[in-house]
Amino acid sequence: MTPKSTLVISYQERVNDDGEVFKEVTSEKEFDSYEEAEAYLLSQESANYKIVSNNPFASPVPLEALKNYKLIYSSDIGIPDPDAGMVPEVKIFEYIEG
C-alpha cells in the first residue's frame, strides 16, 4: 500500500483550564510522496512535527502487503470511506501457515 499523498502537521502542547495537556495542530503541509514528507520532517528543528492521515482508513506511510492471510468473513454493513466508498465494518482473516 502506497499513500496517494502524505500529510505533515506541526503542533504545540497546550494546557486547558482543568490542567489537562493537549496538542493543538498549528499547521499542515501535504506532500506528493511519503519520501518527500519524511525529508521535510527530518529537516525540522522541532520534534513537534508528525506524519499523519486525515482518513482513518488510509495509512500515511507505505505498508507491505500481508502474506499468508485469507479473508474468511466480510460484513454486509459498511462504513463510508472518503477514498473507497463503503467498506465492510468487519473483516476477519485467517492466518495460513506457509
Same domain, residue pair 1 and 25: yes
Same domain, residue pair 16 and 35: yes
Same domain, residue pair 93 and 51: no
Same domain, residue pair 46 and 76: no
- Number of domains into which the chain is organized: 2
Quick one: cell of 66?
A: 500481508
- Which band of pLDDT confidence, cut at 50, 70 and 90, is reported for residue 55? confident
| Mean pLDDT value of segment 77-83 | 86
Same domain, residue pair 23 and 42: yes
Same domain, residue pair 22 and 52: yes
Task: Give the lowest-confidence range in 17-31, 39-53, 56-70.
Answer: 56-70
* Mean residue pLDDT across the chain: 93
Same domain, residue pair 8 and 47: yes
- Which band of pLDDT confidence, cut at 50, 70 and 90, is reported for residue 35? very high
User: Within a 10 A sphere around the Cβ of 6, how many other Cβ atoms?
Assistant: 25
- The three-class DSSP label of residue 34 is helix
Domain span at residue 80 reads: 66-98
